[in-house]
Amino acid sequence: MALLVAALLLIGKGCNRPELTPEQLTLRPGLSTLAIQPDWTELEDYQQTIPRRIFIEQLSKIYSQDEAWRSVIEVHEDYADIRGRGKERLRLRFAKTNSRKKPPRYWRSASELPGVTNLKKAPLSGLRIAIDPGHIGGQWAQMEERWYKGKREGTDVKEGELTLATAKVLERKLEALGAEVWLVRDKLEPVTNLRPADFEPLAIQVLKQRGMKPGGIPLRKESEVLFYRSHEIRRRAQIINTEIKPDIVLCLHFNAEAWGNPGSPQLVARNHLHLLINGTYSAGELRLEDNRFHLLKRLLQRTHDEELPLNRAVAEAMAEETGLPPYIYTTNNARQADSNNRYIYARNLLANRVYHCPVVFLEPYVMNNPEVYQRVVAGDYSNKREIAGKMRKSLIREYADGVTEGLRRYYSQARRQ
Ligand SMILES: [Zn+2]
């Protein structure tokens, strides 16, 4: 399947379809940098698909930080007025409670997948899964600041390489259960054809707006951030939403605690796990037109109804497999999304916002924990080995096994025979 994605990318290149419009390379008030200008008419397809009660409940409980949503959405008896572009308003009519009109979307929920003859052997048959190995790794790891140098063995720990290694193991395991799998990235290179220098004109505008002199190190750093943290993820979203169109996306990450100087990193005793579903938009984020648009698209596609139970199953299996305790957020940009599962938080990330299907965004393992470091040094191996006094699977196989088991349980239970 990796080859197919490569072919699709080549088609993209062959058509010479630009990755960015000139407008995206300019600062636009009320829009995130590099965001695609939303087409609000797309939401017309969702008229009378969502009942008023569900609309309000999901905004209040999942998508909005406190009552922030009320600053941009006004709810009436039969409709809501939503702030679109500038001062424009979109009127969304609610469904009558008995409406069975299905919202348009490219992905299928577990209950919409075709029936399976052998649920035990192939619980994922026909399921389309995109695996997004977080970050880039390789020569880019240092720029991404997802890298540190181990003290004793001198092994470099690069998040973008660990995620790709995990993705490749996971791909085989999911295919063995019948899934069709695509790797959004299959090498230690960015998915975008653009490079930091392409973002310099925009970086100059960003720095000027902050009252900074646009040159030297700040200019280089800002161009790099626009390249790897913003555009690279938006490019992956474009491939996911317009080419792969999967039923779910698995975003693989490894967590870390502040390690200071990457050449002489601080190791920490803490080690933990959490998963992030999309939600908890702040008032500031809701002032951005693209944020409002993506929130509405997810809400109207009923993405959360699939995303939450799917994440719950994966979180449970990952907790059992890794034995890790939950990470506890102390900031207000994330909140617990499920009273029954302490591992799941709702947080508004670029990746779980702009991928228009259910996303499982995983943050297991603290990379600068000494035991995790030893496991990275040990590399990949079969069966178990003693590491830090415990018999352990290889780090990436344990990760892949946890995710696979979560998906196996979820789809075995939720889809039709
Ligand atoms: Zn990460």
Q: Which domains does the chain have, with CATH numbers?
A: 2-43+106-414 (3.40.630.40)
Largest CA distance in the chain: 66
CA–CA separation, 385 and 8 (whole Å): 40
Centre of ligand 1 to C-alpha 48, Å, is 38
Give the residues of the chain that fall short of pLDDT 70. Answer: 1-17, 153
> 52 C-alpha to center of ligand 1: Å?
36
Q: What would the two tokens of residue 166 be?
A: 């995990």
Distance 321 CA to ligand 1 centre (A): 20
Q: Residue type at 105?
A: R
The tokens for 258 are 């502040």
CA of 255 to the centre of ligand 1 (A): 6
- How many angstroms separate the alpha carbon of residue 135 from the centre of ligand 1? 6
| Ligand 1 centroid – CA 133 distance (Å) | 9
What is the residue type of 207? L
What is the distance in A from the centroid of ligand 1 to the CA of 147?
11
343 Cα: distance to centroid of ligand 1 (angstroms): 17
Separation of CA 253 and ligand 1 centre (Å):
4
Q: What pLDDT, on a 0 to 100 scale, did the predictor assign at position 17? A: 67
Helix (H) or strand (E) holding 216: helix 216-225
CA of 149 to the centre of ligand 1 (A): 17
If DSSP states are collapsed to H, E and C, what string results for 132-198? EECCCCHHHHHHHCCEEECCCCCCEEEHHHHHHHHHHHHHHHHHHCCCEEEECCCCCCCCCCCCHHH
pLDDT at 264: 87
Reduced 3-state DSSP string for 19-45:
CCCHHHHCCCCCCCCCCCCCCHHHHHH
CA of residue 205 to ligand 1 center, whole Å? 27
The side-by-side arrangement of strands in the sheet containing 248-252 is 180-183, 128-133, 248-252, 359-364, 273-277, 344-347, 334-336
- In the reported structure, the alpha carbon of residue 112 is separated from the centroid of ligand 1 by a whole-number distance in angstroms of 31
Cβ-proximal residues to 259 (8 Å cutoff; 6+ apart), any chain: 148, 265, 266, 267, 268, 368
CB atoms within 10 A of CB 257: 16
Predicted TM-score (pTM) of this structure: 0.94
Instruction: Please tell me the distance between residue 269's alpha carbon and the centre of ligand 1 in angstroms.
Output: 19
